Amino acid sequence: MERLWNGVWQGWVSNDTFVTLRKGIGNRFKIPDEMVKYAKTYSARPRPHGRRPGGRSGFSRWKAALPFAGNWQTLDFPESDDDLIEGEEKKKDRVRLLLERYGILFKELLHKELPSFQWRNIFRSLRIMELSGEILSGYFFTGIPGPQFISHRGFHLLRHQLKESQVFWISAMDPISLCGFPLDSIKGMLPRRLAGTHLVYRGNKAVLISQRNGRKLTFNVAADDPHIQEYLIVFRHLLTRRFLPLRQITIETINEENASLSSFVDVLRISLDVLLDYKHVVLYRKAKFNVSEFL
């Protein structure tokens, strides 16, 4: 398993399903120590009556940790050459990939990318593509120092703007999230770029910020906002997603106040099952009942 994941990090091995990646994330790309110990015991001589130590459940846990879902394959790379035109075309392809991902490019946006995708290695290609008319440059967003480049599709979307009624959420760790970016114009406006932090937007406004998997909530709308139930979509996802759903969400503070005293508790009760104590609010996914069972 170590050899497989090392091959992935080196870019020589790949898999055709995200299930394997999710398993790796869940186990931090390692077989848990207790599972390694169990595997050695399991392979030992059987106990009397054909029973092996640990039981079937132990074997199932060990097997579930292995990254054997889907199909693994090696990746073939063409031999490198010193052709300048071919090298420039590869850089242009990297620019096109980045524009598909972000729509717009500027220096600060790429500081977490791999070296070959960072600003210093693609800036010349951006200028060449601008001169050829493939992309545009200009001052599209305030607060961003230096040049900005945008695809024609991205410029079209900007001109028509995002629907103000559109509600969506992202993780602070998402590549399109600006959390943690070195921009003076957004310092203090967004939370740190940490796992467990989620942002819910309505149009271009962050209406809800959830930190530490819901322990700290910040609502930027009133409790009587007519669309507030839509903003709770992030909690419904965390509790019902197929991969490692949370059993519960414990809220400690809402808008810097004791969660149990907040006016938002009644709002949460509409979409989720809520357990209240003197200090915390605990959310569970809404139980579903068949009405005919009670008739």
Q: At what angle do helices 84-102 and 119-131 cross, to 10 degrees?
A: 90
Residue 165: per-residue pLDDT: 82
Tokens representing residue 64 in the block: 């579930």
In whole angstroms, give the CA distance from residue 138 to residue 107: 14
What would the pLDDT profile of 21-32 be if each residue is shown by its tens digit?
A: 888 887 778 776
Q: Domain ranges for the chain, please list them.
A: 2-74, 84-160, 167-284
Cβ atoms within 10 A of the Cβ of 187, count? 9
**172 vs 48, more confident:** 172
What would the pLDDT profile of 118-133 be if each residue is shown by its tens digit?
A: 999 999 999 999 999 9
Please tell me what DSSP assigns to residue 70: S
Tokens representing residue 13 in the block: 């091995």
Please tell me what DSSP assigns to residue 17: -
Threshold 0.85, pTM exceeds: no
Residue 60: per-residue pLDDT: 66
**182 vs 138, more confident:** 138
Please tell me what DSSP assigns to residue 279: S
CA distance to 52, 226, 237, per residue, from 232 (Å): 47, 13, 9
In whole angstroms, give the CA distance from residue 210 to residue 93: 36
Domain 84-160: which topology? Arc Repressor Mutant, subunit A (1.10.10)
Cα-to-chain-centroid distance, residue 193:
11
In whole angstroms, give the CA distance from residue 78 to residue 91: 16
**217 vs 163, more confident:** 217
pLDDT at residue 53 is higher than 80: no
pLDDT at residue 50 is higher than 90: no
What would the pLDDT profile of 60-114 be if each residue is shown by its tens digit?
A: 666 666 666 788 899 887 676 667 888 899 999 999 999 998 889 999 899 888 8
Furthest C-alpha separation in the chain: 79
Question: What is the rounded average pLDDT for all residues in the chain?
Answer: 85
